[in-house]
Amino acid sequence: MSASDSPAHVLSGVLDALASQNLRVVDLSQTLSPRFPQIVLPPEFDQCAPFRMEEISRYDGRGPAWYWNNISFGEHTGTHFDAPVHWITGRDLPNAATDSLPARSFIAPACVVDCSAQAAQDADFLLTVDRLRAWEVQYGRIPEGSWLLMRTDWSKRTDPVAYQNFDAAGQHTPGPDVAAVEFLVHDRGVIGFGSETIGTDAGQAAHFRPPYPCHAIMHGNGRLGLQCLCNLDLLPPTGAIVIAAPLKILHGSGSPVRAIALVAG
Amino acid sequence: MTDALKRAAPRNPILPLRVPTLPPGQRSRAALRWTASVAEGRFELQSCHDCGQIQYPPRDACTNCLSIRLTWKPVSGRGDLISETLLHHSNELYYRARVPLRLGLVRLAEGVTVLTHLHGDCPVAKANESIPVRVRAHLDKAGQAALIALPATDTPNMADDRMLREMTSDPKFRKVLITDGKSATGQALVKAFVDAGADIVWAGLSEPWKQPPGFDAISKLPNVTVVPLELTDPRSVEDLAGSIGGKVDILVNNAEVHRAHGIGDRRGTETARAEMDINYFGLLRLAQSFGPALRARAADSAVPSTAWVNILSIYALSALPGQGTFSASKAAAFSLSQTLRSEMRGAGIRVVNVFPGPIDDEWTQTLPPPKLAPAALAKAVVKALKDGVEDIYPGDVAQDLFTKWQESAKVLEREMWDQ
Amino acid sequence: MTAAPYQGVVIATPVSIPYVRYSTKDAHWFLARALSALLKTSGLKKSDLDGLGVSSFTLFPDTAVGLTQHLGLSPRWLDHLPFGGASGVIALRRAARAVQCGDASVVACVAGDANHVDSFRANLANFSRFARDAVYPLGSGGPNASFALLTSHYMQSTGAEPADFGKLCVAQRANALRFPSTLFKKPLTLDEYLNARPIADPLKLFDCVMPCAGSEGFLVMGEDRAKRLGIPYARILGTIERHNAFPEDPIQNRGGWAMDQDHLYSQAGFGPPDIDLFEAYDDYPVINCLQFEGLGLCREGEAPAFIRKNTFTIDGSLPFNTSGGQLSVGQAGAAGGFLGLVQALRQVTGQAMKTQVENARHALVSGFGMINYDRGLCTGAAILGRA
C-alpha cells in the first residue's frame, strides 16, 4: 500500500471529496412525523406504535427558554432498520440485535435495481431472479456484503392511503419473490434488502410459501432489512455506500434510522 | 304560536362576541338532589314516606308531619295555570338579555303551587277559570333544575320556544363533530345527526387507509364532510380544532378502542395502552383543543354552541372482567368527564354522558344478546340532546346494570363476575 | 287564655333618619344615628337603655349582638327581628312585654339598612333558601315578579283595576310632599301612574318601591318613666302577629291578619269605624288591598269598591300612609317595617307637623314581610292610641 492509499489518507480524501462535492451525501430517510403511515397488522394482534410527539415546552410557561418534545414510536416506525432477531427464524442467531450487531454492519455498498416503471403498472410487482440476472448483465455481479435496494419510486406516494394501498384483499405493494430472496441470500451473500415500501416483503407476501420470505429467509440467515427509504432514484445502480446505523436499543429488533448514502460525483 | 326556529345569521365579525352568562346557580342540598333526578331525565317531587305529603320547593322535613323520611315520587306535571306575569326587567345578567319573560304560578294536580317559566304557547292565565298546562323540569343553562310549563297538548314548533331551547341542545341547524365517523356507531351517529337537521356533520376519520364497508356511503350524505382526526396525535387534534373548532356546536366523542381482555389473559400493556390512549387521553386532547372555542361561543347567536357528548360504557361504573382493561379506560374517561362538566359549567355547555351496554358490533362477538344496535345508540344520543338530560343508559343491559349499581355497587361487582 | 292588655307600658320618641338613594355607609352607621337621635330627643343617656331591638338586612355578618359591642351598649334584653316589613309591629310587641314584666325598663327599637350600589343584588342572592332554590333561578331578580303574580291574580279575582291601585299611589304621593324627608319631590298624577314603564306585568314603575338607605326608631318604656322624662307618648291598644298563615291557599289572596283581626279589635275595645288613620305596609299596592280586607276595613275581595268609595289623603275619608308610605318615601330595607309605626306614633302624639291628621286618636298600623317562596309570611298589626 502506497502512502496515498494509507487509511489516514483515504479518510482525509473523503473529507476533501465531500468539501469539493466530488462526493455527495444523499438522504435516504423519510421525515419522522405523526402523519407517516406505520405498518398495520390485523386487529387481533398488537400494533406497532405510530410516531407521536408531545411538546414538553416551547419557550413558554412550561419551560421559558427552551423547546423540546417527548417522542414515542415503535422499533419499526418510519424509515427503519430490521435486525435478524425481528423474525422468529433469526431469534437464536448471535449478535443479531440492534445492540449486538457489529457496527461494521452499518456501512455497506448498495446495488439499486430500478423497478419503478413496473411498480407503476402493477402494485403487486415482484422482483424475480431473472430480473436480477438481467440487472447483473448491465451492471455486474452483485457484490457480497452489499445492500440490494429495490427502487420503485413508491416513496413518491405522499398520500398515506396510496402509500399503504389497502383493499379488501389486504395491502398491495411491490417486493421480492421467494426465489429472489433465496438467490440474494445464498448465491450473492447480500448484507440485506432495502425497499421504499412499508415492508421489505411485498404487500401480499402473507400468501407466499414461506410467508414473508424477505423476513423469514433474510433474517433467518442473519441478514438485515431497510424499509420506507426514499431518494433511491438519486443513487447510481452501483457504487453508492449506504450508512444506516440503528439506535443501540437493548435487545432491539430494529429502530428508525437516518439512512444516508455517499455517492460519487 | 311559536315561530319556527330560523338558522342563525352569520356573525358580524366586527361586533364583540356575546359572552355566555348563567342564571343563578346556587342551590341547597335538597334542591341539588332534585336537580340530579332531572339530570337523569326524571320529573319527581319530594314525597313524605309517612304521610304522603307532596311538597315543593324541596325541604329537609315533611311540611305536614315533620317526618324526615322523605322520598321522591314521579309526577305527571299536569296542573292549572293560576297566575302569570311578563317580566320586563331583571337584575340578573342572564335574564336581562332574555326579557320580556313569561313566568307563571301553576297549581299541580298534587296540590302544590309551583313557580315556572311559561312556554310561549301557554294560554293566558285566569284566576277564575281552569287553564290546563303541563309542567316539565329541565336543566337550565347553569345546569340546575328549573320548571317550565308547556301547553296542555303539543303545538307546532313547540320545541323552538326560546326558553325551552335554552334548556336543551337540539341538533337542528347546528354543526356537529363525530370524532370517529368510520366505526359502526360513528356511521349511525353521522346518519342520525343528518336526519336531525344538523347543518354540517363532520365525520372524523383516522387511519384513512382502513375504510370499512358503509363509510363511503355515509361520507356522501348531504351536509357530511370527512375530516382527518387521529386522537392519539395531539397535532392532528389541534389542527382540526384550528380548522373547524370555531364552528363546532355539538361534539360527539365516540372514538374508542375496544378489546376484550382482562389482566391475565394478555401479556404486556400495549392493548391496554392503546385503549387508554384513545378512550382517556383522546378525550383529554379533544377537551383541551376544542373546549375553549366551544365555551366561548355558547351565547353567540340564537343557535349557539351547546353540548359535548361522551360515549362511555356502562362498564365504566362496574367493570366487566372479560373486558377489564376496556372497562378501566372507560372508567378513566368517566372520571375525566366529571371534570369536563365542571369546566364547561361556566359557559352553560351541557356535557352528556352515554353509558351503553354492549353494542352490536365486531367487538362484542362473544357477548350474548341483548345488544344495542348502533342505530339505537345514535337515536338515544339525539334524544338526550333534545331532552336536555345529562346521563343516559340506553338499552336493556345498561338500564339493568344502572339500576343495580344504584342499589348497591358492591353487590353488582360480584354479579359482574358472571356477566 | 287571652292576651293581657298593655297596661303601664307606652311607645314614645318617633325618629326617622332621612333616606338617601345610595350611600357608602354601612347599616351600623344608620342604626347608630337612629339610636343617637332617640337619646337626644328623649334626653336619655345611652346607659339608660337596657333593652335593644334591631331589624336590618345589611347588618350581616353582624346581628343585634355585634351591634352592642359596636355601639357600646350592655342591654339585659336583646332581640334581633328578621321579619322585614312586620318588624316594627313585632319589635313593639316584644319590647312591650319585656317592659311590662320587668325584663327591661327602656327598650330602643331601631331598624335601618345600607344601600350600596350593589346592595340589592347582593341581598337577593341569599334572601331565603326557597327563593334561592325556586324563585331567583327563574329570572325575577327580586320580589317584583312574585308580587306581579299576586297582583294579576287579585285583579282577576276581584275586578280591581289599575286605576284603583293608582288612586292609592297618587294619594300617598300627595301625602309625601308634606313629609320633610321624602325622596320624591314631585306630585304623581293618575295618568303618569297608568302610563309608567312596565316592570313585570301588571306592575309598572310606580307600583314598586325605591330601595334606599336610612333608619327609623322608637322607644318603649313604662308610662311612669315617660312622664318623668316629660316626653310625649302613646298607648298600645292592641297588637297581633302571625306567620305562614293559610299555607293551603294555592296563591296568596289573603294575609294573616284575617286570622287575628277579631283578637286585635277585642284588645282595643272598638272596631274599624273608630280608626282615624291607617299606616299600611305598602311594598306593592295589592298588599294595601289585602290589608284593608284582612283588617276588617272592608270585606274580603271588596277592597276595590272600598278604594273607589273613599279618599286617602291626610284630609281624606281614611287618611292613609300619611307620610307617603314606602312607595313615596322610599324603602330603607328593614326600616320600611318601622316607617308606618313611627309615623302613626307621630300622629297620635301630635308631632306629625305638615302631615298631621286632625284629631288623630286611634292609629292602625300594619306590617307584612318576608316573601319566602311565593307569598309573604309575616303579618302583624297594632293600634296606637292617644294618651
Whether C201 and B85 lie within 8 Å, measured CB to CB = yes
Interchain contact, B87 vs C149, CB within 8 Å? no
Mean pLDDT of all residues in chain C?
A: 95
Closest-CA residue to B34 (of C314, C376, C130, A174): C130
Nearest residue of chain C to residue B32 (CA atoms): C133
Q: Are A88 and A213 in contact (CB under 8 A)?
A: no
Nearest CA in chain A to B260: A44
Architecture (CATH level 2) of domain C1-387: 3-Layer(aba) Sandwich (3.40)
Dihedral of the alpha carbons of C194, C198, C201, C206, in degrees to the nearest 10: -60
Q: In angstroms, what separates the C-alpha of A70 from chain B's closest C-alpha? A: 12
Facing residue for A34 by CB, picked from B207, B209, B236: B236
Give the C-alpha distances (Å, rounded to integers) separating B97 from B92, B140, B163.
9, 15, 12
Dihedral sign of CA atoms C176, C23, C367, C303 in order: positive
pLDDT for B15? 86
C-alpha cell at A172: 398491495
B82 domain-assigned: yes
Q: Are residues B259 and B135 in the same domain?
A: no
Q: Which of B83, B89, B144 sits opposite C137 (nearest CB)?
A: B144
pLDDT of residue B13: 80
Q: How far apart are CA A189 and CA A209, in angstroms?
A: 21
Determine whether the interchain pair B209/A161 forms a contact, defined as Cβ–Cβ distance below 8 Å: yes
Query: CA of B26 to nearest chain C CA: how many angstroms apart?
Result: 7
For residues C322-332, average pLDDT: 93
pLDDT, residue C125, reads 65
Does A touch C (3+ CB pairs < 8 Å)? no
B224 domain residue, yes or no: yes
Which of B167, B193, B220 terminates a domain? The answer is: B167
B128 and B148 both lie in a single domain: yes
Query: Would you place residue B12 in the very low, low, confident or very high pLDDT band (cuts 50, 70, 90)?
Result: confident
Of chain C, the percentage scoring pLDDT greater than 70 comes to: 98
Q: Are B83 and C136 within 8 A, CB to CB?
A: no
Answer whether residue B23 is part of any domain.
no
How far does the CA of residue A86 sit from the closest CA of chain B (Å)?
Answer: 18
- Give the end of a domain, one of B167, B201, B227: B167
Confidence of residue C123 (pLDDT cuts 50, 70, 90): low
Half-sphere CA count of A169, side-chain side, radius 13 A: 7
Nearest CA to B46 out of C125, C370, C134, C253 is that of C134
Half-sphere exposure of C121 (CA within 13 A, CB side): 8
C-beta separation of B120 from B158 below 8 A: no
The strands making up B391-392's β-sheet, listed across from edge to edge, are B224-228, B200-205, B175-178, B250-253, B307-311, B350-354, B391-392
Q: How close B257 gets to chain C, by Cα (Å)?
A: 41
pLDDT given for residue A44 in this prediction: 83
* Pairwise pLDDT comparison (C362 vs B17), residue with the higher score: C362
pLDDT at A1 over 60: no
DSSP state for residue C21 in the 8-state scheme: S
A47: which chain B residues are within 8 Å (Cβ-Cβ)? 270, 274
CB C139 to CB B86 under 8 A? Answer: no
Can you tell me the distance from the alpha carbon of A117 to that of A22, in angstroms, rounded to the nearest whole number? 30
What residues have CB less than 8 Å from A38, skipping those under 6 apart?
A47, A48, A49, A50, A51, A74, A76, A77, A78, A198
The partner residue sitting opposite A161, judged by closest CB among B208, B230, B232, is B208
User: In chain A, whose CA is at the least distance from the CA of B234?
Assistant: A54
And the C-alpha cell for B236? Answer: 392532528
Percentages helix, strand, coil for chain B (3-state, rounded to 5) are 35, 20, 45
pLDDT band for position B209 (50/70/90)? confident
Contact A46 B270 (CB under 8 A): yes
Nearest beta carbon to residue A164 from set B209, B233, B236: B209
Q: Are B255 and B402 in the same domain?
A: yes
Residues of C with CB under 8 A from a CB of B: 120-121, 124-125, 129-130, 132-142, 144-146, 148-150, 152-154, 156-157, 197-203, 247, 250-251, 373-374
Q: Is B113 on the interface with C (CB under 8 A)?
A: yes
**Domain boundaries of chain C, sorted by first residue:** 1-387
CA of B90 vs chain C CAs: smallest distance (Å): 5
CB proximity list for C205: less than 8 A, separation 6 or greater: C196, C197, C199
Q: Three cell numbers at B103?
A: 313566568
Query: Which residue of B lies nearest to C373 if distances are taken between CA atoms?
Result: B57
Q: What would the grid cell of residue B198 be?
A: 344538523
Which chain C residue shows the shortest CA-CA distance from B24?
A: C137
B348 with B298, same domain: the answer is yes
Looking at residue C141, its pLDDT comes to 76
C-alpha cell at A122: 402493477
Query: Is the CB of B146 inside 8 Å of chain C's CB atoms?
Result: yes
Q: Which residue of B has its CA nearest to A51?
A: B233
What are C96's three cell numbers? Answer: 312591650
Residue ending a domain, choose from B151, B167, B183 = B167
pLDDT of A249 reads: 98
CA distances, B12 to each of A22, A259, B20, B136 (Å): 62, 53, 17, 36
Give CA separation, B260 vs B264, B328, C109, in Å: 12, 12, 76
Q: Are A200 and A217 in contact (CB under 8 A)?
A: no
Q: What is the mean pLDDT of residues B14-32?
A: 92
Res. B210: pLDDT tops 90:
no
> In this predicted structure, what is the pLDDT of residue B10?
82
CB of B104 within 8 Å of any CB in chain C? yes
Q: What 8-state DSSP symbol labels residue C22? A: -
Which residue from B210, B270, B274 is facing A166, i.e. has the nearest CB?
A: B210
Q: Is B92 on the interface with C (CB under 8 A)?
A: yes
CA distance A81 to A83: 7
Residues B51 and B125 both lie in one domain: yes
Q: How confident is the model at residue A2 (pLDDT cuts 50, 70, 90)?
A: low
Domain that holds residue B248: 175-418
Q: How far apart are CA C366 and CA C379, in angstroms?
A: 8
Q: Is residue B17 situated within a structural domain? A: no
User: Whole-prediction pTM value?
Assistant: 0.89
Q: Which residue in the block uniquely carries the three cell numbers 334606599?
A: C212
A-B Cβ pairs (cutoff 8 Å, strict):
34
Together in a domain, B147 and B47: yes
Judge whether B143 is closer than 8 Å to chain C, CB to CB: no
What's the CATH number where B347 sits? Answer: 3.40.50.720
What pLDDT score was predicted for residue C126?
72
Q: Clarify whether residues B180 and B162 are in a common domain.
A: no
Residues C382 and C365 sit within 8 Å (Cβ to Cβ): yes
Q: Do residues B258 and B387 both lie within one domain? A: yes
Interface contact B85-C198, CB threshold 8 A: no
* Predicted pLDDT of residue C124: 65
* C-alpha distance across the termini of chain A, in Å: 25
Question: Could you tell me which residues of chain A have a Cβ less than 8 Å from any Cβ in chain B?
Answer: 34, 37, 40, 46-47, 50, 52-55, 160-161, 163-166
- Decide if C153 and B82 are in contact by the 8 Å CB cutoff: yes
Best probe of the B interface among C117, C118, C119, C138, by most B CBs < 10 A, is C138
Q: What are phi and psi of C229, to 5 degrees?
A: -75, -20
Q: Hey, which chains touch C, using 3+ CB pairs under 8 Å? A: B
Q: Which amino acid is it at C290?
A: L
pLDDT score of B419: 79
Chains that touch A (3 or more CB pairs under 8 A): B
C98 pLDDT above the threshold of 80 = yes
pLDDT in tens, B341-391: 999 999 999 999 999 999 998 888 888 889 999 999 999 999 999 999 999
Cell of B24: 343563578
Query: Do B162 and B212 lie in a common domain?
Result: no
Q: In what order do the strands lie in the sheet with C277-279?
A: C77-80, C51-55, C106-113, C213-222, C9-20, C233-243, C376-386, C362-371, C277-279
* A4-13, C334-343, C365-374: least confidently modelled range: A4-13
Q: Do residues B131 and B261 share a domain?
A: no
* Angle CA C1–C4–C6, to nearest 5: 165
Rounded-to-integer distance, Cα C257 and Cα C260, Å: 5
pLDDT of residue B46 exceeding 60: yes
Q: How many domains does chain B have?
A: 2
Q: How does DSSP assign C87-132, residue by residue?
A: HHHHHHHHHHHHHHTTS-SEEEEEEEE---TTHHHHHHHTS-HHHH
State the CB neighbour count (10 A cutoff) for residue A111. Answer: 27
Residue B44 DSSP SS3: strand
B98 lies within 8 A of chain C by CB:
yes
Distance from CA of B28 to the nearest CA of C (A): 7
User: Which one of the listed residues A86, A172, A215, A251 is annotated catalytic?
Assistant: A86
Which string of DSSP letters, residue by residue, matches chain A?
--GGGSHHHHHHHHHHHHHTTSEEEEE-B----TTS------TTS--PPPPEEEEEEEEETTEEEEEEEEEE--TTSSSEEE-GGGSGGGTT-TT-STTTS-GGGGEEEEEEEE-HHHHHH-TT-EE-HHHHHHHHHHH-PPPTT-EEEEE--GGG--SHHHHH-EETTEE---EE-HHHHHIIIIIS--SEEEESSSSSS-TTGGGSSSSSHHHHHHHHTT-EEEESB--GGGS-SS-EEEE------TT-SEEE---EEEEE-
pLDDT at C333 over 70: yes
Q: Which of B288, B300, B286 is nearest to B174 (CA)?
A: B300
Kindly state whether B125 is in contact with chain C, defined as any CB-CB distance less than 8 angstroms.
Answer: yes
Whether residues B130 and B180 share a domain: the answer is no
**Best residue in B183, B205, B209 for a mutation probing chain A (most A CBs within 10 Å):** B209
Shortest CA gap B20–chain A (Å): 28
The 10s digit of each residue's pLDDT in B382-418 is 999 999 999 999 999 999 999 999 999 999 999 999 8
Among B23, B56, B91, beta carbon nearest to C137: B23
User: Looking at residue B364, what is its pLDDT?
Assistant: 85
For residue B372, being part of any structural domain is answered with yes
pLDDT digits (tens, 9 = 90+) for B77-128: 999 999 999 999 998 999 999 999 999 999 999 999 999 999 999 999 998 8
Contact of B128 with C156, CB cutoff 8 Å? yes
* CA–CA gap between residue C55 and residue C51 (Å, rounded): 14
pLDDT tens, B148-196? 999 999 999 999 999 999 999 999 999 999 999 999 999 999 999 999 9
Strands C51-55 and C77-80: parallel
- Those residues whose C-beta lies under 8 Å from the C-beta of residue A7, and which sit 6 or more positions away, are none
What confidence tens digit (pLDDT) does each residue in A166-200 have?
A: 998 999 999 999 999 999 999 999 999 999 999 99
Q: How far apart are CA A83 and CA A253, in angstroms?
A: 5
Mutation to test the C interface, candidates B33, B80, B85, most C Cβ within 10 Å: B85
Find, in chain B, the residue whose alpha carbon is nearest to that of C139: B95
Nearest CA in chain B to C128: B28
Of A4-8, A21-25, B143-147, C373-377, the poorest mean pLDDT is in A4-8
Is B13 part of any domain?
no
* DSSP classification of residue B17: P
Q: What is the mean pLDDT of chain A?
A: 96
- The reported pLDDT for the residue numbered C182 is 85
Q: Model confidence at B337, in pLDDT bands (50, 70, 90)?
A: very high
Give burial (CB, 10 Å; 0-12/13-18/19+) of C157: middle
Q: Which of A37, A53, A54 sits opposite B209 (nearest CB)?
A: A37
Does the annotation mark A207 as catalytic? no
Query: What is the least distance, in Å, from the CA of A190 to any CA of chain B?
Result: 33
Q: What 3-state DSSP class applies to C181?
A: coil
The ipTM, to two decimals, is 0.89
How far is it, in rounded angstroms, from Cα C364 to Cα B190?
72
Collect all residues with Cβ–Cβ distance below 8 Å to A91 and sequence separation of at least 6.
A85
Whether residue B128 is found in the same domain as residue B239: no
Asked if A40 and B207 come within 8 Å (Cβ–Cβ), the reply is: yes
**How would residue C1 be classed by pLDDT, with cut points 50, 70 and 90?**
low
- Does residue B21 fall inside a structural domain? no
Note whether residue B6 is domain-resident. Answer: no
pLDDT at C204: 97
Rounded to whole angstroms, the Cα distance separating C64 from C50 reads 13
Model pLDDT for residues A43-92, shown as the tens digit of each residue: 888 899 999 999 999 999 999 999 999 999 999 999 999 999 999 999 99
